[in-house]
């Protein structure tokens, strides 16, 4: 029932950037499948990740922790992970928890892209 799906777009500048658009609820139920998919991207050449959270309705600690974990892996590979377009609800959770100190959060896709320039 708590569903989460992603759409991945690969855009090519000097380095490839993966835009990952997340839809639904990222909770303990939907988390394993989500994690598998993102790990699959990280395992290949995906070290620059942009997460579009516009259609993410809910995120629990499982999802938030995973974002931290993915960011760590991406940075170890000299890439980065950013989030853009979060709903006010999710933006507020990210801020209260202090996650925004470790993962950059942008208002929109354009400003998020600038993180990789």
Return residues touching another protein (CB under 8 A). 1-2, 25, 27-29, 58, 60-62, 64-66, 68-69, 71-72, 88-89, 92-93, 96-99, 101-102
CB neighbours of residue 81 within 10 Å = 27
Residues 30 and 3 sit within 8 Å (Cβ to Cβ): yes
Could you tell me whether strands 4-12 and 16-26 are parallel, antiparallel, or unpaired per DSSP bridges? Answer: antiparallel
At residue 109, what are phi and psi to the nearest 5 degrees? -65, -40
- CB of 49 vs another protein, minimal distance in Å: 14
**Residue 19: DSSP 8-state:** E
Q: Which is nearer to another protein, 32 or 40 (CB)?
A: 32
- CB of 80 vs another protein, minimal distance in Å: 13
Q: CA–CA separation, 77 vs 74, rounded Å?
A: 5
Q: Which is nearer to another protein, 24 or 113 (CB)?
A: 24
Q: Which is nearer to another protein, 39 or 113 (CB)?
A: 39
Q: Which is nearer to another protein, 13 or 102 (CB)?
A: 102
């Amino acid at each position: 029932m708590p569903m989460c799906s992603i759409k991945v777009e690969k855009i090519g500048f000097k380095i490839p950037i993966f835009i990952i658009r997340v839809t639904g609820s990222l909770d303990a139920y939907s988390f394993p499948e989500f994690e598998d998919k993102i790990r699959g991207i990280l395992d290949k050449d995906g070290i620059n990740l942009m997460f579009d959270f516009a259609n993410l309705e809910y995120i629990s600690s499982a999802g938030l922790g995973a974002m931290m974990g993915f960011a760590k892996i991406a940075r170890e590979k000299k890439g980065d992970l950013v989030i853009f377009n979060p709903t006010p609800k999710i933006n507020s959770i990210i801020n209260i928890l202090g996650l925004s100190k470790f993962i950059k959060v942008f208002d929109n896709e354009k400003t998020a892209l600038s993180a990789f320039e």
